[in-house]
Each structure stands twice: as structure tokens, then as C-alpha cells.
Structure 1
Amino acid sequence: MIGQDSLSTKTLDNRALSFLAGGGELGAMIRAHDWSATPLGPPEHWPQSLKTTVGIMLTSRQPIWVGWGPELTYLYNDPYKSIIGGKHPWALGRPTREVWSEIWPDIGPMLETAMGGREGTFVEEQLLIMERNGYPEETYYTFSYSPVRGDDGLPGGIICANSDDTQRVIGERQLALLRDLAAETATAKDWREACDQAAKALARNRHDVTFALLYVVEPGAEQAELAAATGVSPGDPVAPATLALGDAAIWPIGQALAGGAAVTVDLAALA
């Protein structure tokens, strides 16, 4: 008789938590997480709407996160690990404002709108400067915040589906810069005008080219002459009018010419 009661209880528990089945690594982590230490409480007592939403999230191949309750306690699925980056697995069960503190000024108002319950939000190629791996990253995402009503009919949380547009946006921007460079310099009458036109093209893409200095070395000369600049004023300590080829204190132009290859410069050392 005791054996039957234990079996019935176990079966009931399995059914109560069946919405957490599968889901790979995050499914296992959500099942093992101590939710009683969070505002959500034990999963078997979660509102049915939250259970359904989390079940959808875990079975989806699209990066999705769910925030629930006043703090929008954070849950996410395996595909979302590529977005959360170094914040995984720390982010699981944390308040959303804590998880994404660095972009809260961008997403906070959108989340507030969604939690109003009347409408969701949708943005395309949204620029977000994330800090998920110990340094700021320029990222672009298309995502929506859709309100999810609790069992009482009031907004209980949100579900967010994401698409990472970062590589496409940056790639298209860099290709556009190359096209501009080719078009701007094609009609130049001499090398000086070509340098001026190139600098103007580079100046239009400060995202990828913060500054640029174009130095020219005449045949047989022992120094390089600054022909054009963008992002920094000619004559600035990092943009001298001339550079001795043997002086690598600022820019190792002589080394690059001698080796015929690109030379990486540590800008922090220059400062």
C-alpha cells in the first residue's frame, strides 16, 4: 500500500514537472535550479501560463528568454547561450535588470511597455552595447517583447524571441565602406587627391575606422609625410606632419615598409 502511494506521488510529481522535459543543458539546469530561493517559487506551483511559456521556450530552436514576475526573473534556452555569452549560467534565475544592467536604458522602457499588457514591442537591427564577456561589444539584434498574461488575466511576464544581426550589419557596413573608397578615389587626378578622397570616405564610417592617418614615402626618402587624416587633427601628437622611417616610437612605418606586411600597434602603449 505504501509502495502504491509512493508511486502515485512520484507520478504526480513527474506530471507536474512535465513542462520542463527536454531542453538540453538549460532544461536540465532549470530542473535542477533551486527556484524556491527566487520570487518564482517551486516549478510545480508556477502559474499554468508560465509553465506553458517555458515549455515553448525549451523546445524552440530560436534564441528565447522569458522574464516573469515584478523582477522579470530570467529563464532562457540553449540557443540563447550564444547571446548571453559569459553571463551563462550566472544569469539563470536573476532579475532581468541585473542580467542586462549595461543595456537597461535601451530595453527597460520597452519591457515596461510590454508589461503594460496592451501591446508588445518589436525592433529590428537594434544596436546594443553588451558586456557579456568582460568587455563592451557592438551588437545588433532583432527581437520582440510579447506580454504573457498570468492565470489571473493580468500581465505576468514577457517572452522574447531574438535574431542576431551583428555579423550581417557590420559586414554590410564594411562592404559599403570598400565601395565608397573605390568610388571616391577612382576619379582622383593625383595621389594627393586620392589620399584626400580616401580620408573623406573613411570618415563616414567611424564605427569601424575611429581614426586614420595616411602617410606617403617618396622614393629614396628617409621620412614619411602625412598626406591625409580623419578622426584626429594633423599635428596632434599621434599625427605628426613627418615621421622618420627609423623612429618606431609612434608609428612603425619603416618596419612595415621593410617587411612588406601589416604591423599591429598597441594603442594603449602609445597613450
Structure 2
Amino acid sequence: MNLKGKRVLITGGSSGIGLAIADAMLVEGAKVVISGRRSDALDAALDRLRRNGESVAAIAADVGTDEGRARTLAFALEKLGGLDVLVNNAGGVRAGRLEDTTEDEIRSMIEVDLVAPIMLTRAALPELRASKDAIVVNIASGIALVAAPFYSTYAGVKAGLAKFSESLRRELKGEGVHVMTVYPGATETPMMSSNRAGPELGFMREPAEAVAAATIAGIEEGAFEVIRGGDARAKMIALNRDDPAALDQRFADLKLALSNAVRDHSAL
């Protein structure tokens, strides 16, 4: 897909990966609407994005709610006059032992990370079909491919999002709407600011701009998926498939240190 002139909606676009993708798409000549929950963050994001063009607008809304999704989509269609690209990027995380995670935190992750992209995609499909050259980009997580301890709910919902993408891609094949899944690894974003795990625990962080560049390349190439993390991630995926007990032991050796490093990781 050539992004020049394409009409794009990006949820969670006020910071991190979503903001970096918006920036990169504007450079490619797309017209962009971003959404987020905080008006101040959106204002700052617009100041940055408008350096690369004026074809950008923002709406403060919570896509984790029915009303927020409806407002977000209506605003995007009003500003753009249609829709060619939907990037489901908004997300939240709460790490820690399952029994120490509250019901509200669990439900919040399910609603924002899984229910929201499914329902927003469903609502946007008529406009995407009308485009005849459209794409849905779902931002999952590397943890959906290799699940780490203390992220059980987050891994579950992100894996669910990945399988939603795979199924929908096959459902829509030949109908003018492609679906691509992105699996970022640890990324330097506000969402990761409360996570103290470093490279010694397998959290090799990269800039959000690198994930955005790979996402744009994937869109242009018609890729099915974009997996970040290089050879190290590929080896972990292979080990998880071929000898999961070995990976279980590797995590067991790191469990105490990892538990202490991620116990405050929260962005909901």
C-alpha cells in the first residue's frame, strides 16, 4: 500500500508507538486522526505532528468504552471523509502475580487491549470496505508470542488480539481489506516507564520510532506480521515451540528478579 493521501485513524496516538506511527505516516503523505484519553497529551502530540504537515487532527476519547469508540470513529470520518487505515494501538498493562492483580485491572486490560480493537474494527468495516484498498493494523506485543511470567492477563489479551487479526485477515481476503499484526518488544514509551526490567532480564528496549518504521514498511509491503526483537526474539519463539520446558526453566531462574522489576509496571 502507498500511504500518500490515505486516511488514517490511530488509537492511542498521543504518545509512544502510536505517536511515532502517526509521525511516520504524515511524512509519507497520509491524512491522520489520532485519539487518546488525555487532552494535554493530545495537544502536545499535535504540536509535534504538525511539524510534518497540517493533515492531522485529534480527539480526546476513551476507546475502552462504547461511547468513546463511537465518538472516535465519527470524528475521524468527519475529518477525513472516509477511512483507509485503522491502527488499533491503544492499550494498557498491569504486571504482577495474578492473585495480586485486581478485578478492575484485569477487566481494564481485557476491555482496552482486546474488546476495544475488535469492536472498533467491526464498526469501521463498512468504511474500510468502501475504500477498496484498506488495512487494519493491530498492535499486539512480543509477549503474545512468548509469554513471560507476571503478565498472564496481558499476554492472554494480546495473544487474543493476534488471533483475532489472523482470523479476520482470512475472513476479509479478496475483499479489499488487509489485516496486519505488529509484535513490538520492549519499547521506550511512557507505558514502559514503571517497568524496571532491563537487558539482563530480557527487556531489550528500542525506540518507538524503530517500531513505527517497521510498521510502515510492513504496510507498504503487504506483510501479514511485523515481529520486533531480531535474532534473539526468533530464537525464543523457536525454543518456546520446540522445548518449552527449557524456556520455563530459564524464566524460573529469573523469576525473583523479574518479579521485583515488574511489580510496579502499570499503565491503565
Q: TM-score, normalised by structure 1?
A: 0.22
Q: Which has the larger radius of gyration?
A: 1
Which protein has the bigger strand share?
A: 1
Which protein has the bigger helix share?
A: 2
Q: TM-score, normalised by structure 2?
A: 0.22
